[in-house]
Amino acid sequence: MESDTQRLNLKREIGIIGAVSFIAGTMIGSGIFISPQYVLSAIGSPGASFVIWTCCGLIAMLGGLCYAELGTVIPESGAEYIYMLRTAGKVVAFMFVFSFIIVMRPASATGIALSVAEYVVAPFYNGCTPPQLVVKLVAAGAIIVLAIVNCLSVRLATAIQVVSMAIKLLALAVIILGGVVMLFEGRTENFENSFEETNVNVSSIGIAFYQCLWSYDGWNTLNFLTEELKHPEVNLPRAVVIAISLVTGLYLLVNVSYLTVMTPKELMSSSAVAVTWGNKVLGSWGWIMSVAAALSAFGSLNGTFFSGGRVCFVAAREGHMPDILAMAHVHRLTPSPALIFTTVVSLLVLIPGDFQSIVNFFSFTAWFFYAITLSGLLYLKIKKPELPRPYTVPIILPILVLMAAIFLVLAPIIDNPQIEYLYVTLFILSGAIVYIPFIHYKLCPGLLTKLTVFLQLFLEVAPAEKNL
Ligand code: ARG
């Protein structure tokens, strides 16, 4: 095959509805059905927990707007990776992609897959804890099914995103309506003295933010696929504003409903809030909430896959990953090698992984890199004011979000240092050590070339080009 004449492009197929669905669909996933009790137990009081949910929505919105500027100034796919490459340079970008591909993306996929599995098996083990093996097998099944779908077609993946989005909106609407009805019946006793027993120490606040921000994570999803978006300069900021305000509003109302129906104590001791809520309000129809929560997380997993594969793909294109990962299928135009790689690593993480610790380490690593990316935006605003900016935010926004990010990374370490955070930091830094022999000096290229040719024929893929 003549590789010069046969360069492939990923197509610009995603319009505003797809764009909003990608953001909202990735954000709404496992979190809103699991985190509320962790936020509440960390922070202690319902009133303070509402404050946290509101602040996190605000942080996500401001972060999203800053990223919208980045996405239009640097119109390439790949989000943090490409922004760091263009601002902080190759070594930092490589450190990111290294941590992202080996830890963050598979960890978030695995976390979500585990909660899909928890909700899928919950109705079969009424009230008791299901065996870990069953949960992990179901989680692995979900990962594999979505990997296959994402390799087969962009359209199908987008369709899943849209359908699952409808289901999760419906589920949240049911929860909100149920809550409103009860509120009107006068069930307001859980909101009296709502700030009593608030824990005001740095580490409780930090952990509450980590758990809550997990539910909001995914606000940057669209930046991973800017090149596949129609008119990104208009659709990117618009989709950010629509999706994030929608999600924030829904999350706040859902929390009101949870607390209307359950006392703070009941909420804190429930392992799957949506199921407890369902059993209390819908009685024997409670299992419906379990199905809806599972499907919601399934859609979120799909979004994670869709955007996660794109990062390998962009990094490989820049020479930071083996070439094979930058190729797309010759007919289907999906970046299947990158997707397969992410799947394999996710399955490996699944073996030892547990949901709680995954969320904390994920948030720590994610906010570490969000901070570097936002500094990059500040750098561009100050040093390169002449760059064309189809969309721009006031400089105070990146400063505020950067301060929040620094607090989030430092709070859990300073107040309650745990050795694991040191390991995570060392892992991130070790990316720089890998960089020198393998990327800078390109050690062992011969072996890679042979492997690339073999895989290229086997997977029917060819190099893809930028789509600017
Ligand atoms: N917010 C999602 C949830 O509640 C998790 C998102 C994980 N991160 C991501 N970039 N996909 O399940």
Residue 374 forms part of a structural domain: yes
Distance CA 259, CA 62 (A): 27
What is the tens place of the pLDDT at every residue in 304-313? Answer: 877 666 777 7
Map tokens 């190729």 to a residue.
327
pLDDT value of residue 7: 47
Distance CA 338, CA 313 (A): 6
Most ligand 1 atoms within 8 A of CB, residue of 37, 101, 104, 214 to mutate: 214
If one compares 330 and 411, the residue with the highest pLDDT of the two is: 411
Residue 8 forms part of a structural domain: no
How many Cβ atoms sit within 10 Å of the Cβ of residue 422? 11
In SS3 terms, 74-99 reads as CCCCCHHHHHHHHHCCHHHHHHHHHH
73 and 331 Cβ atoms separated by less than 8 Å: no
Distance CA 204, CA 315 (A): 37
Reply yes or no on whether the pLDDT at 3 is more than 60. Answer: no
Residue 3 forms part of a structural domain: no
Most ligand 1 atoms within 8 A of CB, residue of 81, 217, 223, 361 to mutate: 217
Q: How confident is the model at residue 442 (pLDDT cuts 50, 70, 90)?
A: low
Residue 99, ligand 1, Cβ within 6 A: no
Give the torsion sign (CA, 462, 341, 105, 303): positive
pLDDT value of residue 468: 46
pLDDT value of residue 323: 72
The whole-number average pLDDT for the span 288-303 is 88
Residue 36 forms part of a structural domain: yes
> Count of domains in the chain?
1
Residue 468 forms part of a structural domain: no
Give the mean pLDDT of the chain: 84
Residue 359, ligand 1, Cβ within 6 A: no
Residue 211, ligand 1, Cβ within 6 A: no
The rounded Å distance from CA 303 to ligand 1 centre is 9
pTM of the predicted protein model:
0.85
What is the tens place of the pLDDT at every residue in 61-82? Answer: 999 999 999 999 998 888 899 9
What is the tens place of the pLDDT at every residue in 126-162? Answer: 667 778 899 899 999 999 999 888 888 878 888 887 8
Amino acid residing at 47: G
Residue 215, ligand 1, Cβ within 6 A: yes
Residue 302, ligand 1, Cβ within 6 A: no
Q: How confident is the model at residue 318 (pLDDT cuts 50, 70, 90)?
A: confident
The whole-number average pLDDT for the span 320-327 is 75
The rounded Å distance from CA 27 to ligand 1 centre is 5
pLDDT value of residue 4: 38
pLDDT value of residue 439: 66
Residue 304, ligand 1, Cβ within 6 A: yes
Q: What is the largest CA-CA distance in the chain?
A: 73
What is the tens place of the pLDDT at every residue in 77-132? Answer: 888 999 999 999 888 998 998 888 878 888 888 889 988 998 888 778 766 777 88
Contacts of residue 350, Cβ cutoff 8 Å, sequence gap at least 6? 110, 113, 114, 136, 139, 140, 143
Atom of ligand 1 nearest to the CA of 27: 1
Supply the range of the domain harboring residue 449.
16-463
Residue 111, ligand 1, Cβ within 6 A: no
93 and 320 Cβ atoms separated by less than 8 Å: yes
Beta bridge partners of 8: 464
The rounded Å distance from CA 30 to ligand 1 centre is 7
Contacts of residue 100, Cβ cutoff 8 Å, sequence gap at least 6? 80, 81, 311, 369
Residue 23, ligand 1, Cβ within 6 A: no
Amino acid residing at 408: L
CA-proximal residue: ligand 1, atom 6 (nearest): 217
Q: How confident is the model at residue 394 (pLDDT cuts 50, 70, 90)?
A: very high
If one compares 57 and 309, the residue with the highest pLDDT of the two is: 57
The rounded Å distance from CA 47 to ligand 1 centre is 25
Range with top average pLDDT, 224-228, 266-270, 371-375, 444-448: 371-375
Map tokens 């989030």 to a residue.
408
Secondary structure letter of residue 128 according to DSSP: S
pLDDT value of residue 332: 67
CATH number at residue 428: 1.20.1740.10
The whole-number average pLDDT for the span 165-175 is 89
Residue 75, ligand 1, Cβ within 6 A: no
pLDDT value of residue 465: 56
Residue 11 forms part of a structural domain: no
Residue 217, ligand 1, Cβ within 6 A: yes
Residue 5 forms part of a structural domain: no
Q: Which two tokens stand for residue 433?
A: 């050590």
**CA 127 to each of CA 123, 130, 150: distance values in angstroms, whole numbers, following the listed order:** 8, 9, 35
pLDDT value of residue 6: 40
**CA 192 to each of CA 54, 261, 262: distance values in angstroms, whole numbers, following the listed order:** 19, 14, 14
Residue 4 forms part of a structural domain: no
